[in-house]
Amino acid sequence: MMHRRSYANLAQYLEKTGTSNAALARRLKINPSYISLILTGRRVPSLRMAARIADACNIPIDSLLRLKLTA
């Protein structure tokens, strides 16, 4: 069985694999701007979406679910 490489977070996955936001969005059937919002911290995905992204990119789900603690 082939072992998939793991990445620390979404930004690292995109950088190391050379995958564009648009290509990942197409694969997940979501809007590319949603990927940008996640990357910039302006959006935290739902648990279901975070699980889909984590599985597709082989990244830890908690790297997508970090809560903003600003008031």
- Both tokens of 1, joined, read 């069985």
pLDDT digit string, tens, across residues 2-38: 567 999 999 999 999 999 999 999 999 999 999 999 9
Q: CB–CB of 8/63 below 8 Å?
A: yes
Whether residue 69 has pLDDT greater than 70: no
**Cα three-residue angle 9-16-25, rounded to 5 degrees:** 65
Kindly list the distances between the CA atom of residue 9 and the CA atoms of 17, 60, 67, 71, in Å, as whole numbers in the listed order. Answer: 12, 7, 15, 25
Which domains, ranges and CATH numbers included, belong to the chain?
10-63 (1.10.260.40)
